[in-house]
Copies of this chain bind each other. A is one copy, B any other.
Amino acid sequence: MSDLLERLRGRGWRMTAQRRVVAEVLNGEHVHLTADEVHARAVTKLPEISRATVYNTLGELVSLGEVLEVTTDKRAKRYDPNAHRPHHHLVCARCGAIRDVHPTGNPLADLPDTERFGFTVSDVEVTYRGLCPDCAGA
């Protein structure tokens, strides 16, 4: 993630302890944390960081394209640092576990012109739902 910090400094980001901690928390694969989860983890490293700053920083990372917003459930938005490899999500309907998945094929090609209503379609989001091995029981 120091890649990320370098890139951000290059873009004129003022480097602060708060921003460094948020970037650290968002490190890893299959990471899809809510803003308050990010805050909870950030607080263990920098106790005085505020909720507002976490929200602000996440919002900036999203508009810089370094982090994706994912809304897999109807509850809180989740923040996904895996922004540089396009992917979709597989969600457990019971426990909420989320996995990054890479389906074959291009769903954009599956939407005929007659079903586009004159829209300029630029993106498609696919969410698979089911039960994870634990929640499926035996």
> Taking beta carbons and an 8 Å cutoff, which residues of A are in contact with B?
69, 71, 73-74, 77, 90, 92-93, 99, 101-105, 107-108, 110-112, 115-133, 136
* B126 engages A124 (CB within 8 Å): yes
Which residues of the other chain, B, contact A123 by a CB distance below 8 angstroms? Answer: 128-130
Min CB–CB distance A102 → chain B (angstroms):
6
Count copies of this chain in the complex: 2
Known: A71-B74, A105-B110, A111-B101. A128 touches B118 (CB 8 A): no
* A130 engages B122 (CB within 8 Å): yes
* B130 engages A120 (CB within 8 Å): yes
Could you say which of B118, B120, B130 contacts A121, with CB atoms under 8 Å apart?
Answer: B130
Which residues of the other chain, B, contact A136 by a CB distance below 8 angstroms? Answer: 119-120
* A71 engages B69 (CB within 8 Å): no
